[in-house]
Amino acid sequence: MSNQDRMRTALVVVLVLAIVLASGGTGFAAGWFLRSHTAPAAAAPDDVQQRFRLFWEAWGVIEREFNHDKPLDLQKVVYGAIGGAIRSLGDPYTAFVEPAQAKIFEEDLEGSFEGIGATVDQVDGLVVIVETIDGAPASKAGLRANDVILEVDGKSLQGMDLSQAISLIRGPGGTQVRLRIHREGTAEPFEVLVTRDKIDLPTVSSRMLDGHIAYVRLTEFNNQATVRLQAALRDLLKDHPRALIFDLRGNPGGYLHIAVQVASQFIRDGVIVSEKDSKGKVTEYKAEGNGLALDVPLVVLVDGGSASASEIVAGAIQDTGRGTLIGRTTFGKGSVQASYTLSDGSAVRVSIARWYTPKGHQIDGKGLTPDIVVPADAEGSAEAAHDAVLERALQFILAQQAAPTPTPQ
């Protein structure tokens, strides 16, 4: 089989798969990713083959006429074709994910991975450390926020996609990775040898605040979220706090079933969320009835970074009257996705349903409006020393509990 024939076969299968999934895929899904499924083989219907005749006409021109001094990267062409076909659907949440990025997403949603324990981002084409996890190998090796990673084991990261760079930095626990680092204020780049380890993502953090008010923050709805949240709640509630603040700011979401489990820690019974698929079928997910914090006065903190599963939980708490939302309007992601793993480890994520709050609100593109809105120009964040949203929550709790109880007439 020629290279052109191989490419033609691959493109027909993946492009048809993308169209089939986008036009009405089925399956259980989540607000962000729920779980991966193996993608079914797709046969190309006659009308699809006819429509893609134009594609092959165009590709024939490229093969004959394109002036290039090195062989074409057919893998890159195939990925580009899949991505372009899916982008044409106009849904920002239906997407193609290459193998390296798909693996990273999958690991993160498990709540742990093997690597150096540092959060990185790409700034002006450079891979920059945002923060290191306390006690993790990166921190122990002396790496700091704002360090620039230039090379990994002698391989330059210049011009590399962030997910590819992360896949080089991560690796099996116990193995070593040599990083070439540029640090502001240091004349020359230097090398740091880091021994990788298993890293547990800091999914939950908690503490007691002044006034005997409990505080717990959830950063992601991964597979460890429920267990870690329950542990934090048990520890906080044994001291019988006067109220509980549940912080969902900056939480991008995660698994749907984890959202239901988390909401069930605060809501005694009833519907947590319902979803309607492309055929109009409605599925309801109800409180599980085993919550740890069903009676303590509750405030939930949200902002524009609270999305998907965060909005499911916050919307359920708001609609049922279980607690008070304080902060800023949430992101507004009301669709449901399923992720299908392809044969090479890449994945197609496809929107298959929309979800609704217990009172039937659809928040896609609108978000949830908090019961108490803190202006966006107020200073502070969950990590800042001055946190205007948290301060407003504390004021609200103290004011509510200081108010006299009405006397029945």
Segment 137-187, tens digit of pLDDT: 999 999 999 999 999 999 999 988 888 899 999 999 999 999 999 999 999
Compute the distance between CA of residue 305 and CA of residue 393 in angstroms, rounded to an integer: 18
**In whole angstroms, what is the distance from residue 304 CA to residue 328 CA?**
6
Higher-pLDDT residue of 266 and 409 is 266
53 vs 41: which has the higher pLDDT: 53
Which amino acid, 176?
Q
Q: Which of 66-80, 329-343, 356-370 has the lowest mean pLDDT?
A: 66-80
Phi, psi of 228 (to 5 degrees): -70, -35
Q: What 3-state DSSP class applies to 384? A: coil
Q: Which two tokens stand for residue 197?
A: 């380890």
d(CA 130, CA 145): 5
The span from the CA of 153 to the CA of 143, in Å, is 16
Q: Write out the two tokens for 369.
A: 């409006």
Q: Which of 308, 310, 335, 339 is catalytic?
A: 308
Reduced to 3 states, what is the DSSP secondary structure of residue 393? Answer: helix
Indicate if 319 belongs to the active site. Answer: yes
Element (H, E) at 242: none
- Domain annotation for the chain: domains and CATH numbers: 3-99 (no CATH), 112-200 (2.30.42.10), 204-337+352-402 (3.90.226.10)
Q: How far is it, in rounded angstroms, from Cα 316 to Cα 391?
A: 24
pLDDT at position 372 over 80: yes
Residue 45 has pLDDT above 90, yes or no: no
What is the rounded CA–CA span in Å between residue 338 and residue 28? 7
Under the banding of pLDDT at 50, 70 and 90, the label for residue 24 is very low
Exactly one of 197, 206, 303, 333 is catalytic; name it. 333
Any idea which residue has 């009172």 for tokens? Answer: 359
Question: Residue 186 CA to chain centroid, in angstroms?
Answer: 35
Give tens-digit pLDDT for 48-98.
778 888 888 998 898 889 988 888 888 989 999 999 999 999 998 999 999
Q: Residue 13 and residue 39: Cα distance in Å, rounded?
A: 11
CA 82 to chain centre: 22
117's torsion region: left (phi>0), alpha (psi -120 to 50) or beta?
Answer: left
Give mean pLDDT, residues 193-198.
96
Give yes or no for residue 327 having a pLDDT over 70: yes
Q: In this structure, what token pair is assigned to residue 195?
A: 């021994």
Percent of the chain residues past pLDDT 70, beyond the cut = 85
Exactly one of 319, 339, 346, 387 is catalytic; which is it? 319
The reported pTM is: 0.79
Does pLDDT of 17 surpass 60?
no
Residue 308 annotated to the active site: yes
DSSP-based three-state secondary structure for 115: strand
